[in-house]
Structure formats: C-alpha cells, structure tokens
C-alpha cells in the first residue's frame, strides 16, 4: 500500500529528473538536430492530459508484440 506508493513516487521523481535535465539542455540548444525533437517531445507531453497519456501507455503498449512478453505487460511497470 503506502510503501509501494512512496517507492513509485520516488522512482518517478528520479526518472523524471534524469529525463528532464537532458531535454531542457537540448531544448535550449542552438543545434536544430537537438532542439526540434526535444521541442516535439515536450509539446506532445505538455499538450495531452495525463489520463490520456496513461491510457495510451497502458492500453497502447500491449499492441506491440515485443512488449507482450516483457515486464511492461504488468500494470505496475506501466505506472512507472
């Protein structure tokens, strides 16, 4: 219950920090090869509601056959 929630929040914070720092640096870069893909990633994730993103990840990831036989098949790992 509580410890799983706290552990998931802590893990999500660490993963979010590890993803956000390189994205912010790439977004502020003058190199368009770095700036444009990071702009698209940020634009997509800021422009869609979190619930829609969760549905796309949970129900959409199962459509790919390599994902069906991995840890991402479990809802707990999709919550990360």
DSSP per position, 43-78: HHHHHS-HHHHHHHHHHHGGGSHHHHTSGGGSHHHH
Q: Is the pLDDT confidence value at 77 over 70? A: no
Per-residue pLDDT at 59: 78
Identify the pLDDT of residue 75: 66
Residue 5 reports pLDDT greater than 80: yes
CA–CA separation, 54 vs 79, rounded Å?
8
pLDDT in tens, 17-51: 999 999 999 999 999 999 999 999 999 888 889 88
Residue spans of the domains in the chain: they are 1-47, 49-80
65 pLDDT tier (thresholds 50, 70, 90) = low
């Amino acid at each position: 219950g509580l410890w799983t929630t706290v552990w998931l929040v802590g893990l999500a914070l660490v993963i979010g920090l590890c993803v956000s720092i390189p994205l912010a640096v790439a977004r502020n870069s003058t190199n368009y090869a770095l700036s444009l893909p990071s702009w698209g990633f940020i634009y997509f994730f800021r422009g869609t509601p979190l619930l829609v993103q969760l549905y796309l990840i949970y129900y959409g990831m199962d459509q790919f056959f390599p994902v069906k036989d991995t840890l991402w098949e479990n809802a707990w790992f999709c919550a990360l």
